[in-house]
Amino acid sequence: MARISVDVPERLKDEVKETAERKNFKNPSEYIRQALREKLEEDSELDPELLLRAIKVKQENVETQSLEEVREEIT
C-alpha cells in the first residue's frame, strides 16, 4: 500500500481520531481512506449545473459543446 503524509493541526487530528472511534473504524487511517474514497467518488460525478446545461442545449437544438467547453463557459 502506498503512503501519503499530510500535516494537520492537532485539533483536526483529534477530531479525526474521535470520529473514527465513534464510527467504529479500526483506526484513524481507515477512516481517512474511506473519506478519501467518498470524496473522489463525489468529485467524479457529473456536476448538476453541467447536466442542466447539456439538457438545455439539447432542448434548444443548438450547436453541441464538449464537456470542457461547458465547464469553461460556466466557471
Rounded CA gap, 23 and 13, in Å?
15
Instruction: State the residue range of the domain holding 53.
Output: 46-75
Local structure of residue 26 (DSSP, 8 states): S
Asked if the structure places residue 2 within a domain, the reply is: no
Q: What is the pLDDT of residue 55?
A: 76
State whether 54 and 38 are in the same domain: no
Q: What is the pLDDT of residue 21?
A: 98
C-alpha cell, 22: 465513534
Q: What is the pLDDT of residue 23?
A: 98
Q: Which residues contact 71 (CB under 8 A, 6 or more apart)?
A: 47, 50
Asked if the structure places residue 3 within a domain, the reply is: no
State whether 16 and 34 are in the same domain: yes
pLDDT digits (tens, 9 = 90+) for 16-69: 999 999 999 999 999 999 999 999 888 777 777 777 877 777 776 666 677 777
> CB of 20 within 8 A of CB of 27?
yes
State whether 54 and 66 are in the same domain: yes
* Residue 20, number of CB atoms within 10 A of its CB: 19
State whether 15 and 39 are in the same domain: yes
